[in-house]
Amino acid sequence: MIWVFVQFASTIALAVVSGIAALCASRVYHAPTKGKSYSRLRSSLVWMGIGGLVFVVKLTAVVVLTASDEVFTEDKWTMQLPMLAIPAAAIVWFSVPAARAIRAAAAVKSKEPTASQDRLAAAAPRWVWPVQAWFTGSLLSVLQQLFIAEWPLRIGTVLEVWLVYAAAVYLLWIRAKSRYRRFNETGTPQGNRALRLSRKGGVVLAVVLAAALWFMLGAQASRVPDRMSMAGHEHAHGHAIDAAATTPSVSFAGLTGPRTGKPDRSFTLEAKKTTVTLPSGERKEAWTFNGQLPGPELRVKQGDLVEVTLINEDVDAGVTVHWHGVDVPNAEDGVAGLTQDAVMPRQKHVYRFIADQAGTYWYHSHQQSSKQVRMGLYGVFVVEPDAAPPRKSADLAVVLHDWQTENGTSVTLGGLNRLQRKTADPGSLVRLRFVNAGNLPAPIYVTGTPFQVAAIDGTDIHDPAELTNTRLDLAAGGRYDVTFMMPDAAVGISRQTGPFSQEGNVLVISPSNEGMPPDAVKVPVFDPASYGTPAKTEFGPDTRYDRSYKLVFDNRLGFYNGRFTFVQTINGRVFPDAPMFTVREGDLVKMTFANRGFEDHPMHLHGHHVQVLSRNGKAVAGSPWIADTLNVGPGDTYEVAFAADNPGIWMDHCHNLDHAAVGMSAHLVYEGVYSPYEIGSATVNLPE
């Protein structure tokens, strides 16, 4: 939604424009000649007029956003708009008539000196003060938007902002009046120079001291304790949660996969540091599973008892393995500090679970996730359906990831950054399993054949229609399975528009390893909300939900664990203060997402799949859309539903892992479940 950006841009623009207007207005009375007085008056009015237009743009954006969801604008209606509208009215009421008086004594291009009588009109508080108040309101609006992302908005916060505004405007009023008086008495607005300077110095000092104090206290307060339970019975900073959750009764240790029995498939993943050479010749320091980049592709059959032994050879910070999108029992979920301790060098850990959902998944370390996934500790996990595949078929996982190499960032398909070729017989059914292991939505172009999106996040689409000229935007952490009947000519996969070439970061599938597919061109984006046809679902318009939660995503300047940064918030807060959502086993839960910030937030709930009910107020019209990683774009709202059928304590976080690392991480807690693990600098666990 473009309006989120329009709204913010107009807020900043208004601060600039009203600042210029205020500056111009305060310079009119210095005008030495009638001509100067005229031109300065004119530019003041012109800038005020421009400001008025910008204000109208902002107001329009606010109205449009309010119609979408009031969470986008409650801060605008309660704080920004009044701070802007009241002085704007004062300008019309006071400054415009004052401008007439100044105009009467001015003359176009005249060199005649301004009479001091006339200059007095331009020093009148009623001329300058409303414009200064307008600028103050715009400046505070910008600051409010940069620093306050609270939701729900507390009345106390609104009052605090108003108090600051009132105080600033009052001081400006006093200043304007005393200038006017001095001017009236002495013929100059400037008082004693030394006094003026010392007063200015005092103000600057007070502001600097207040900012420093705020900075120190804020940094201190944001520090995660040395040791805390992530799913503790109260938040780190003392916000108690649902009392029912405070009596631990379910032994966390019981929430495991089958601990005995012979596994159908067993794998070993060895985490180690490696230097890899990409096909382009670029060398890269990587952390890998089994020396491979991405890690080995693990394929199992639906229903298999899977056993994976994780061995950490030399990744100093420790590692874990999280089964992204697989709804494993809680203790197998691989989150350091929540479901296990990080596996330190020369230690091991065994995961066991039954892979009962066929589909495309992936695995990655959930210790220092943002760093470790970027360094390479991830791979594809495929659960093949029970049913035998058609006789002629090809099945290929394609990972999208961005590497930091010595030459900067390079985007890859399948871990390479050069053209790769694969073969498939004409007439065979090709399934490409796209996995986005990066932090941003990834565009995918398929050329040379019509195709279908057969599955999203491991769940089949009902009745997928054939697509041509469609770009797929895959959510970070998400998966799309694309199928097509192999034609006689080459099919191409690319992450950008343009021709296919040897140097391109592209995949070409052809019957005989030759030929180039048609160029990728700019085309509309695939929309899962209206794809396929409806089918019976667990949740519908008549569902009665046992719990409803609202999650408002935003960004602001603030502290995260002692560091000042651009933090990403859920309901105004950052981890570990971000909300915990409590449920009871068997609950039907509805969650509403609204993204007020400027970035995409691919929300990932562990241990569950959610059914998308609506986007921006419009119900999903096509096939049931079941996701585990849902990209919530700027200005977007979504309603999703899920059944609380997998007891435990689950992360619910943004899969732009850099966002999770600056606070965008919450939890879903089943009543009565507790975790014996802890995070903090005194432990080995750093989940994000």
The site for ligand C2O (CB under 6 A) is made up of 322, 324, 364, 366, 477, 604, 606, 651, 653, 655
Least distance to Cu ion, CB of residue 593, Å: 11
Distance, in Å, from the CA atom of 601 to the CA atom of 440, rounded to the nearest integer, reads 9
Closer CB to ligand C2O, 479 or 655, in the complex:
655
364 binds, among Cu ion, ligand C2O, none (CB under 5 to 8 A by kind): ligand C2O
573 binds, among ligand C2O, Cu ion, none (CB under 5 to 8 A by kind): none
477 binds, among Cu ion, ligand C2O, none (CB under 5 to 8 A by kind): ligand C2O
656 binds, among ligand C2O, Cu ion, none (CB under 5 to 8 A by kind): Cu ion
Cα–chain center distance at 167: 35
By DSSP bridging, strand 298-301 and strand 378-384 are: parallel
Closer CB to ligand C2O, 119 or 349, in the complex:
349
Least distance to Cu ion, CB of residue 148, Å: 19
Q: What is the DSSP letter of 187?
A: S
Residue nearest to ligand C2O (CB): 324
Which neighbouring-strand residues pair with 508?
421, 492
Distance, in Å, from the CA atom of 268 to the CA atom of 313, rounded to the nearest integer, reads 12
Q: Which of 288, 276, 338 is nearest to 312 (CA)?
A: 288
Closer CB to Cu ion, 282 or 402, in the complex:
402
**Residue found under tokens 């091991």:** 348
Closer CB to ligand C2O, 478 or 572, in the complex:
478
Least distance to Cu ion, CB of residue 661, Å: 10
Closer CB to ligand C2O, 29 or 323, in the complex:
323
Positions touching Cu ion (CB under 5 A) are 601, 654, 656, 659, 664
Distance, in Å, from the CA atom of 686 to the CA atom of 665, rounded to the nearest integer, reads 13
Q: List the structure tokens of 399.
A: 């990972």
Residue 376 near residue 288, CB atoms below 8 Å: yes
Least distance to ligand C2O, CB of residue 439, Å: 11
Count Cα atoms within 13 angstroms, Cβ side, for 457: 29
Q: What is the DSSP letter of 545?
A: P
Residue 312 near residue 287, CB atoms below 8 Å: no
Least distance to ligand C2O, CB of residue 366, Å: 6
Least distance to ligand C2O, CB of residue 22, Å: 48
654 binds, among ligand C2O, Cu ion, none (CB under 5 to 8 A by kind): Cu ion
Least distance to ligand C2O, CB of residue 230, Å: 12
Closer CB to ligand C2O, 179 or 653, in the complex:
653
**Hey, how many other C-beta atoms are within 10 angstroms of the C-beta on 334?**
28
653 binds, among Cu ion, ligand C2O, none (CB under 5 to 8 A by kind): ligand C2O
352 binds, among Cu ion, ligand C2O, none (CB under 5 to 8 A by kind): none
Residue 634 near residue 9, CB atoms below 8 Å: no
Closer CB to Cu ion, 263 or 576, in the complex:
576
606 binds, among ligand C2O, Cu ion, none (CB under 5 to 8 A by kind): ligand C2O
284 binds, among Cu ion, ligand C2O, none (CB under 5 to 8 A by kind): none
305 binds, among Cu ion, ligand C2O, none (CB under 5 to 8 A by kind): none
Closer CB to ligand C2O, 34 or 606, in the complex:
606
Task: Provide CB contacts within 8 A for 207, sequence distance 6+.
Answer: none
Distances (CA, A) of 480 to 434, 462, 588: 5, 14, 26
Q: Which of 646, 549, 563 is nearest to 593 (CA)?
A: 549
Distance, in Å, from the CA atom of 411 to the CA atom of 504, rounded to the nearest integer, reads 10
Least distance to Cu ion, CB of residue 684, Å: 26
Q: List the structure tokens of 594.
A: 């609204």
Distance, in Å, from the CA atom of 686 to the CA atom of 670, rounded to the nearest integer, reads 22
* Amino acid occupying residue 152: P
Closer CB to ligand C2O, 13 or 686, in the complex:
686
Count Cα atoms within 13 angstroms, Cβ side, for 410: 21
Distance, in Å, from the CA atom of 292 to the CA atom of 286, rounded to the nearest integer, reads 9
601 binds, among ligand C2O, Cu ion, none (CB under 5 to 8 A by kind): Cu ion
Least distance to Cu ion, CB of residue 316, Å: 27
Least distance to ligand C2O, CB of residue 296, Å: 18
Phi-psi region of 251 (alpha: psi -120 to 50; beta: other; left: phi over 0): beta
CB-based burial, 435-451: b 16+ in 10 Å, e otherwise:
bbbbbbbbbbbbbbbeb
Closer CB to ligand C2O, 601 or 604, in the complex:
604
Contacts 24+ apart (CB under 8 A), 165-168: 165/83, 165/136, 165/137, 165/140, 168/136, 168/140
Closer CB to ligand C2O, 596 or 655, in the complex:
655
Q: Residues 258, 688, 152, 55: is their CA dihedral positive or negative?
A: negative
604 binds, among ligand C2O, Cu ion, none (CB under 5 to 8 A by kind): ligand C2O
493 binds, among Cu ion, ligand C2O, none (CB under 5 to 8 A by kind): none
**Residue found under tokens 């006071």:** 94
Least distance to Cu ion, CB of residue 633, Å: 11
Phi-psi region of 572 (alpha: psi -120 to 50; beta: other; left: phi over 0): left
Least distance to ligand C2O, CB of residue 313, Å: 22
Closer CB to ligand C2O, 655 or 659, in the complex:
655
Residue 473 near residue 525, CB atoms below 8 Å: yes
Distance, in Å, from the CA atom of 211 to the CA atom of 361, rounded to the nearest integer, reads 47
Closer CB to ligand C2O, 126 or 324, in the complex:
324
Least distance to Cu ion, CB of residue 607, Å: 20
Instruction: Determine phi and psi for 136, rounding to 5 degrees.
Output: -60, -45
Query: Sheet of 471-474: strands edge to edge?
Result: 420-423, 506-510, 491-494, 442-447, 471-474
Least distance to Cu ion, CB of residue 600, Å: 7
655 binds, among Cu ion, ligand C2O, none (CB under 5 to 8 A by kind): ligand C2O
Least distance to ligand C2O, CB of residue 655, Å: 6
Closer CB to ligand C2O, 366 or 495, in the complex:
366
608 binds, among Cu ion, ligand C2O, none (CB under 5 to 8 A by kind): none
Q: List the structure tokens of 507.
A: 């995949």
Closer CB to ligand C2O, 352 or 655, in the complex:
655
